[in-house]
């Protein structure tokens, strides 16, 4: 998610719609990666092979019932929605 801040900042400064396509591609790949971790956490309980600070199935922090990987997935899905709106808006204004 961190490169998205720079990409969107440059796009806002230049006032163009090209960053929406970059945001969409990075957000889709990020969402796919972010979706894999909740699957590991909840579908393979007790089978994780990570050892530093607990296994991969360990939920270390929750807010409103959501773990950090779930929050990242929601963030990427919001970015996908924003990018789709940006791409469609850019196509309609041409």
Distance CA 39, CA 43 (A): 5
pLDDT in tens, 53-84: 666 666 667 778 887 788 888 888 988 888 88
93 burial level (CB within 10 Å; 0-12, 13-18, 19+): exposed
For 8-51, write each residue's pLDDT tens digit: 788 778 777 677 777 888 888 888 888 887 777 776 655 556 66
**Domain boundaries along the sequence of the chain:** 1-11+25-42+63-94
Copy the structure tokens of residue 29: 């790949």
């Amino acid at each position: 998610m961190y490169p998205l801040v720079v990409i969107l900042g440059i796009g806002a400064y230049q006032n163009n719609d090209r960053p929406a396509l970059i945001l969409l591609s990075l957000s889709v790949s990020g969402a796919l990666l972010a979706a894999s971790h909740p699957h590991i956490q909840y579908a393979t309980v007790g089978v994780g092979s990570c050892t530093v600070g607990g296994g991969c199935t360990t939920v270390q922090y929750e807010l409103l019932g959501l773990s950090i990987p779930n929050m990242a997935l929601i963030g990427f899905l919001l970015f996908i929605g924003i990018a789709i709106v940006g791409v469609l808006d850019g196509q309609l204004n041409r």
